[in-house]
Amino acid sequence: MKALVLSGGKGTRLRPLTHTIAKQLVPVANRPILGYVMRHLSEADIQDTGVVVAPETQDEVKRYLGNGNRWGLNITYITQERPLGLAHAVKTAREFLQDSPFIMYLGDNLLGTGISKAIKEFQEHRADCMIFLKRVADPRAFGVAELDAQGNIISLVEKPKDPPSDLALVGVYLFSRAIHHAIDCIKPSWRGELEITDAIQILIDQGKKVRGEILETWWLDTGKKDDFLAANTTVLDQYTIRSIRGKVDSRSTIEGRVEIEKGARIINSTIRGPVVIGKDTLIDNSFIGPYSSIGHGTVIKDSVVEHVVILENSVVRGIVRLEDSLIGRNARVSKSRRLRGALRLMIGDHSHVEI
């Protein structure tokens, strides 16, 4: 079993942040999304991993992942010159995949469970395809699967007006080598892309065994700001433990599950978890509310922040209230006059907002 991790694309829904950072590297609870993906592959004892990258962001992805040793993986990088669809990514990776079965994992998706159980079921059923599915309130915004009583997929519909079920396609797929011939049979969609759903439908039409794996835990697509903040909230809720490794002065209060990394300093402030504070961060005369992730080297002074993701080396100073916000790297948010009420911001790297 090999793995194919998709870390290309333009991340248009997270702009302006993704003008300067790959969307798969934006941190959730101070860890890049790709880090969670790699951990799942490692836990499933997968070693040979192909990572599909875009020319614009490949250097950054390579710096973070390296050769994969820290997860016990052996990484091969595959450049997709243009984002022409998920099936096109598989076609681009054909030389790496050879005839091996593989799991394809979209690098901007987060699952609340590992993948080992699904791989075992895929192998036991001798399936040609297994798709991760999740019940959603409004399936019209997703690709939707219809299952028979045995858990086999009998049809796929992309963003239907009248959904045949409430089962949305999650960005994780398992394939046998049969998928390559199916991809060779499809043509670009109206979007000009090779759609993986079209290739899977060919497998179904050919009588291949295509199964669905319904997730009972959470699934988060981090494509938009609000989705991203929701992902941060969920991960902080599930994984944060109380761990104080930085310096906290006697005038400060730490409440609940708060992780403070080495080199961080908390002065005359209150931190109310779940919260993650990165290394070499300064929190001075401020309140950090629940569900906040503060990146390495960030400075927050004379401010109140809650339900935010602030990336590394940023400055927030003199802000009465900052909430529901995503702040890029090396950004600066400061006050130049009296400010009342809450700010809700999404700003990219190296930005300067003066209120």
Tell me if 195 sits within 8 A of 179, measured CB to CB: no
Domain range summary for the chain, segments of one domain joined by +: 2-235, 240-354
Tell me if 275 sits within 8 A of 292, measured CB to CB: yes
Smallest Cα–Cα separation from 275: which of 310, 321, 320? Answer: 310
Q: Which residues contact 32 (CB under 8 A, 6 or more apart)?
A: 24, 25, 26, 64
Tell me if 29 sits within 8 A of 293, measured CB to CB: yes
**Cα distance between residue 159 and residue 103, in whole Å:** 24
Taking only the tens of pLDDT, the chain with its 355 residues reads: 999 999 876 545 555 555 556 778 888 888 888 999 999 999 999 999 999 998 888 888 999 999 999 999 999 999 998 888 899 999 999 999 999 999 999 988 888 888 998 999 999 989 999 999 988 888 887 888 888 888 889 888 877 888 888 898 888 999 999 999 999 999 988 888 888 989 999 999 999 999 988 888 887 766 667 777 888 898 898 889 999 999 999 999 999 999 999 999 999 999 999 999 999 999 999 999 999 999 999 999 999 999 999 999 999 998 888 998 888 888 888 876 555 556 656 656 666 565 5
Q: From residue 348, how far is each of 35, 112, 118, 310, 330 by CA, in Å? A: 21, 28, 37, 10, 9
Smallest Cα–Cα separation from 349: which of 335, 334, 333, 328? Answer: 328
Rounded to 10 degrees, the C-alpha dihedral 222/224/230/232 comes to: 60
pTM over 0.95: no
Q: From residue 221, how far is each of 9, 28, 51, 282 by CA, in Å? A: 14, 12, 19, 31
**Cα distance between residue 101 and residue 248, in whole Å:** 51
CA contacts within 13 A on the Cβ side of 14: 28
**Cα distance between residue 180 and residue 151, in whole Å:** 23
- For 2-235, which CATH class? alpha beta
Tell me if 180 sits within 8 A of 101, measured CB to CB: no
- Contacts of 205-208 with CB under 8 Å at 24 or more apart are 206/182, 208/128, 208/129, 208/178
Residue 258's beta-bridge partner residues? 275
Tokens representing 162 are 């009248």
Domain 240-354 listed as CATH 2.160.10.10: yes
Neighbour count for residue 114 (Cβ, 10 Å): 15
Smallest Cα–Cα separation from 310: which of 297, 280, 301? Answer: 297
Burial 312-337 (b: 16+ CB within 10 A, else e): bbbbbebbebbbbbbbbbbbbbbbee
